[in-house]
Structure 1
Amino acid sequence: MKRIKIEIPVILLTIIIISLLGLSGNFVYKSLSEIVNSMLSESKPDNTLILVKDVAMDLNETENMVRLYSLSNDNDYLENYRTVNESLETKFEELQSIYNPDSNRQILVDSVLILAQQKMVVWEKILNLHFSRGNEHEAFNQYVETLDTVLTVQDTIHFEEPEKRGFIKRIFGKKQEPPKPIIVDRTVEKQRLQQEIESLEKELKQRNQRMSSAEAVYMRKNLEISENLSEIITKLERQEEESFMRQSQEAELLANETYERLSYFALSVLLLLILVLILFFRDLRKSRSYQKVLKKAKTHAENLARTKELFVATVSHEMRTPVNAIYGLSEQLLQKQHDEKTQEDLRVIFDSTKHLAELVNDTFDFSRLEKQNIQLAPVHFSLNDLLHKIELYNKPSAEAKNISFKIQDNVENELVLFGDEGRLKQILNNLLTNALKFTDEGEVKLVVTAKEQKKQIHLDFEISDTGIGIPKESQEKIFDDFVQLDTDINKKAGGTGLGLYIVKKLVDLLGGKITVESEVNKGTRFFVSIPLQKGDSEKLQQTFKSFDTPEVLKGKAVLIVDDEAFNRHLLKSIFTKWKVDFDEAENGQEAVALAAQNNYALILMDIRMPVMNGTEAARAIKETGHKARIISLSANSDSANPDEKSAFNSSLKKPFDEAALYNTICNTVDVKPAQETSKQETTLIYRPDLSELKRMGNGDPEFLKEMIDLFLKTSVASMQSIDENLDSKNYDAIAELAHKLASPVKYMNVTGVYNTIKELEQLAKKGNESTSIEEKTAQLHTEIESLNKELEVLLNEKFE
């Protein structure tokens, strides 16, 4: 209730402040707008007055052009007169288009237009008078020229021309009389012309008098119009001055009013601020007590969070230790020969432990994601190898439920990528495990495509199933933490409800995207897109398939340090199988004492132990100058701190399997010789590695023998079919046969032959390089024959 009492005046005061600010701001805005508009109107010139003055100036120009033309008869002045008249017509139109709300000004503008047009008419008439006067002068000049001609030509006497007669008439006719003289007298014509000129001069004089009178009338009219125009322009100028004075007075009044409003506004703001300060200091004392309570609550919550993290870390170590022992020992027992019932019981134990390990890992991954403590570990890896591992991991589950499981690789070339292979595999395995769990019939399919964008390889995965599907209302929730659909399968299978949450977080961590499409009882499709960098094939990590005694430990001793008997028993079982000598210690102090007495090549050291922990023991052993390589064994989900990293040569996370242990040992002890050995082994491209087949058959020699016999038969048959299709140039069939042959060769772990088969498959898919296909087929013949010879020798040595 106290909190409500404090908030009510604050809310009311806020409403009042906002209202006053709005009203004051509105008043100020209006006043400023009016002042600005007034100033803008004052700063703008009066177009009407300017146009009227331009018209007056053009009219004066017209008058000057007519006068100059009447004096000089120069046509240039006449042309200028016409041009000014056209300009006046344009300005008349502009004046007519301007509408002025002031009726007095509009009347004056109309009067200007009328007077200007009248003045133009007057000067046009004067110009016409000048044109007519010019014609009279021309007639008079013609009379004068005629008279001058008569006066210059004297009286003349000429004779009549004799009659023309023919030759005979001139001889026999009468004699022709001589011609008579004719006298031409021009006196009469001169008198007549003089009379006409006198008459014309008299008429011109009369007409000039009339035209002068008319021109005088026009000039008086022009003067009257000019005086009227001057009066109107004067009135317009006076109106403009009055308007300017009136707007100035209005702007001054608005400015005074604005100052007054601003004063009220500032005063109101000051009062409100004082009121706010009063309420603030009044409420500050009350809020301090609330802050103390909140601080205590925050401290308590942080303590609870730390306790939760400590609890998760403790549970991490305590749960992973027995899970690691059960998982590892059940794996070792499955590799031995037992009766069918025992073998089945061991398989149940192994699968149950595996499921328990997955639940524990999901919980720990969730904890690390919540703390944003997961760090990526990018490596160079092969996409084909990754898909092969995923197939081996999920195929048994599909076969157990009798549903189809397919991986469709649409990537033409074998890609080597650089990224966190482990997290990518975790994403795909989680999605495929879910698909297999919720599908009872039909198929589960993984489709892989790749495209290059901006120096990156974008891998697109589509995981589809024909299972129960996801309702639309639940599709937005499936990526939340601890969310499980309420289905019979979920109730039966169990789980933490963290799988898809972890998948979504890991996809985001890798910079990718994930979406889902689903329909109830028809299936689900997940779409995952992950950007990765191009990898280097020369930096691919060696994957060890055979778990015979590591070369680096032959003839050497190992020290096992762990306070849990389960973990020591697992490691002792593996080293016993490898025939490697070992000693054991239950804490770091015992380990330091044994290291001082013996020369060990390798020390496997648990981190959390009583008396002396693993980090202290490892540092103490190194300080004595012992040359042993030390591998840390940790069940903690978090990455090692800097002190632990500096104390150990490498680390192995619990729970681990034999392959992980073998891989870590070979990469830690005598690294360089191990790398040289691996390079030598990879050059033997025809030497088969049957460890994967042994694992699949649980060490059953009969199963291994049957698989080798089957491979010998199918490989020969496949090569014969390839040859037949090569003759008929059926390249699609060759690509299909090569694809089918690649899988069994992959199980033999013969890298060279597998690469040759994939190259032949890609060439056959293109189908436009027949010579290359023939050469690659011949190469494959040679390699398959060599591989089969190796397998036959192996059969004779081990199974006879």
Structure 2
Amino acid sequence: MPTQDIQSTGSVRRKVIFVFVTCAVALTLAWVISRVAFTEMMDTVENITTPDPKLEMVSAISRDIMRLDQMQRAQAFGGNTSYKSFSKESAAIVSSLDSLKQLYAGSDVQQSRIDSIKTLLRQRDRLFNAYVSVREKVVDSREFLEQLQSLSDVIYEPSPDSTIVTTERKRRTTTIAGDTSAISVPMDNDDRGFLGRLFGRKRQEQPPLPVVEERRMVEEELETIIDTIRAVQHDSTLARIDSAVQRFQMLQQQQRELFVSREKDLTIASNTLISNMLSILHSVENEAMQQMEVDNQQARAVVSDSVWRISAIILAFFIITAIMVYLILGDIRRNNAYRVALEAAKEEAEYHAAAKQRFLANMSHELRTPLQSIIGYAEQLKDGRQADDVKIDAIYQSSEHLLQIVNEILDYSRITSGKIVLNEKPFAVEGLVNSVVSVMKTQAQAKGLVLEFNTRILGSGQVTGDAFRIKQILFNLLSNAIKFTERGKVTLNVSTAVYNEKTEFNMVVKDTGKGIPPEDLDRIFNDFEQSENANSGVHFGSGLGLSIVKAICESMGGDIRVESKKGFGSVFKVNLPLKTAAVTAPEKPVPEAHTARKQVDGGVWIIDDDRLILGLCQNILDKYHIPYRCFLSPRDVLAAEWDPQVKTVLMDIRMPEMDGTQLNRKLRRKITTTGVNIYACTAQVLPEEQEQILAQGFDGLLLKPFKEADLLHLLGVSQPIQPNGANGEITSIQRFSPDDEVQTHNIIALYTRDTTSDIAALNEYYRAHDLENVELLLHRIAGRTAQIGAEKIAFLLRKMEIDARSGDLPQETELRRTLLQLDELMQQLQIHGNPNAVGV
């Protein structure tokens, strides 16, 4: 919990920093986007306000063309015959058109238009020149005068008179006086020629002169005589004049028509030129307007995009901020919850610490009580007193009790580490329950209790499950019921209900004890917890039994419940859902041998780097006259010649030169005979460890610490049944050599020497943090110590071995404390000189 609190505090700190960084990033991005947007807007405004060079040039060319047209008209009608300025201006316009064409390098349409304008401009220049030429001819009077002169020449051309006109005038005058008045004087006959009178100015008439009016009467008689030859000559002249006049009129008409045509062409060319220029101007203006519109759209798009981006950034910032604030508040809530949980965990830790303290106090009682029996009776036997069955049985029962406690602790270790493995096989429910009840009846009778047993088995009674774990549940519940019941009875009710492929297995254990206080019902399944007898304050067992039972039930998918009332006993109900198994024929029990079998066929090879284990095996094999050979190292056994008489090989797993799995493979290649079994002798008792060892090709296992019966059973030898119960586990070294005191002392000396050497090496490897060799030496010392009966020290060594195998170096204080206990054990062995003193 403290680690979670620290992590949560660090998480809040990281989130706050992240919020500040996000804020800084958001502001920076908004500033960058605004700066870029305003820069683009300024560029767009500058592009809009800057005049288009193409538009300026087109406008200038249009003005030049209009001015050139006006200049053309002025020169045409002003009588100016110098056209250099016009040509110069036209050339300048062509040059401007070339420049404009370069500006439109990417527009084929505009370049085509400019080329057409240049063509029209040149064509107009040619038309203007032609127009001027025609106009000059029209305006120039030389040709007209020449025509008139030809007419004069025709008129005044001298020619012989062929017509004679004779006029005779006769006048008679009579004068009469009268009033004075103005009278006009007739002008003299005009002496100018015909053409002079025709095209010349009219002479001024003289003003009338005042005269005195006289009345005269004038009588005049005119007689004209015409010669016909002269009249014919006069008609010919008029015809020639008429012909000349007609020719002149025709020429004038042609010149007038040509002039009109040239003027029309010039006007059309000018109009076309101006139209094209206006078209280009409009195109450029449209293009400028479109570009302006594009710039405006770009400006609007820039502003819109900038606003959208800034809005998106601000929105994202607010969303992220809201999320982070929510997460921070969540962290704060979790911190508060962690604080509350930490306080609860502290209280729970204190509670469990007290429970563990009670557990240790209880273990001290549970361990010291059987040890007292072992040490006391062993001391009496050591002093030479006669060994009777009572003393030996006390030592055996105490050893059994110690082994039970050690097994409970090992089961608890496997369960809490999640390494419990269920071995599911078909079994008969009734047979399993009968085997448990037959054992527990003895304990109940010894305490003066009645053990009732009721069954209601439906169906075949065959199920599939872990029979060993179910026995463990029953043994635990019945044992607790017997221990906590002083008088009355203990009842076991077993029933099954079949549902197709499932069988519901129900067990109810009821006792008539003093019951469990209500405040203890919720915690009796906790680790190291027991229900306290309020009257006596006595505790029984390790306090792990019910927690192990609950863990096993839950691992099988079942549950366990308790009902109790103080003073009226307790009821434990277990429900296990098991698979329904097919009906099989019951196995016939194998009768136990009451006498030792014949000698084992063939010999036995034993390979172990621990001399104590080899010495104990030698005692057992010598006792039953079984041929054997012992080896201290794998190298020795591989170097030895194979004995065809050997049928059994027993080897340790953890050895310094090579482990047992490698030796197994190499030795099997060396064996030349068939029917040889190789067994592993190991202190690795976890189920998964055993499975791994068997998977390496071994034929079986011999677990340390082993009893004499275990070794004999492995070799196929049965011991004779002893009425005093000697077929149980013997934890005393003397049990292996009861009649050979020298051998016992040799075993003690060998154990002390090898253990002392291993402890020294263990200290060196521990200081060097050599986990592999630390694990190997812990394994070796634990197996050796367990074999001589010091189960408690062996268990501590075994636990440190498992830690080292997991990669964790044992705690120095724990190691020192265990090695100190081991040293005290060896001192006691040396002082007493008898292995029965190993119950420390």
* TM-score using structure 2 length: 0.39
Q: TM-score, normalised by structure 1?
A: 0.40
Higher helix share: 1
User: Which protein is bigger by CA-based radius of gyration?
Assistant: 2
